[in-house]
């Protein structure tokens, strides 16, 4: 028997430590949270996707009385980006979430289904998607989905 060690790297930064492109994308994700439709959870999530051509696409979580019919902000944004600009690789994805008292202090991380969709996006465009997770106390920077979804199942197994 042997242990397998997987190296995962996540950087923590303050808003002021981000570069201008990163700050703008985080601001877009925060604004997108205001457009969330989340009457059931009252948990509003915004996502902003930066495409290789410089276009930004945003999305927010969209809930439904039949709960599983709703969709997370990340997938709303990525699916829209890929529908509208199918040839444009995704460079960066910023996520921001708020409850009724304001933006969360500790960054929210994407759910498992969204991680799988981010993986598919990376494989589709053959480049990593940088992920910025906004929290009031810190922002987490992740260089690609491998650091959020180790041992992933992807197209290479088919
Ligand atoms: N949600 C997102 O949109 N993204 C996440 O990363 C976590 C959860 C949404 C789904 C649901 O509308 C609400 O937040 C509560 O789970």
Domain that holds residue 68: 10-130+140-149
Which residues have any ligand 1 atom within 6 Å of their CB?
38, 41, 43, 45, 61, 63, 70, 72-74, 108, 110-111, 114
pLDDT band at 70 (very low <50, low <70, confident <90, very high): very high
Q: Residue 90 falls within a domain, yes or no?
A: yes
Q: How far apart are CA 97 and CA 66, in angstroms?
A: 22
Q: Residue 2 falls within a domain, yes or no?
A: no
The structural domain count of the chain equals 1
CATH of the domain at 107: 3.40.140.10
Q: Residue 158 falls within a domain, yes or no?
A: no
Q: What is the DSSP string of 22-39?
A: HHHHHHHHHHHHTT-B-T
Q: Is 138 an annotated catalytic residue?
A: no
- Reported as a single tens digit per residue, the pLDDT across 90-125 is 999 999 999 999 999 999 999 999 999 999 999 999
Report CA(61)–ligand 1 centroid distance (Å): 6
């Amino acid at each position: 028997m042997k242990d397998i060690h997987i190296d995962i790297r996540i950087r923590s930064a303050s808003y002021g430590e981000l570069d201008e492109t990163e700050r703008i994308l985080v601001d877009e994700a925060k604004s997108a949270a205001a457009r969330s439709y989340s009457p059931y959870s009252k948990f509003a999530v915004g996502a902003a996707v930066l495409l290789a051509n410089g276009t930004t696409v945003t999305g927010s979580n969209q809930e439904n009385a039949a709960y599983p019919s709703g969709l997370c902000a990340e997938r709303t944004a990525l699916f829209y980006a890929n529908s509208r600009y199918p040839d444009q690789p995704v460079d960066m994805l910023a996520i921001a979430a708020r409850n009724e008292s304001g933006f969360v202090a500790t960054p929210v991380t994407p759910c498992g289904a969204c991680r799988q969709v981010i993986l598919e996006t990376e494989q589709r465009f053959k480049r990593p998607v940088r992920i910025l997770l906004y929290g009031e106390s810190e922002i987490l920077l992740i260089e690609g989905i491998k650091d959020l979804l180790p041992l992933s199942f992807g197209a290479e197994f088919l």
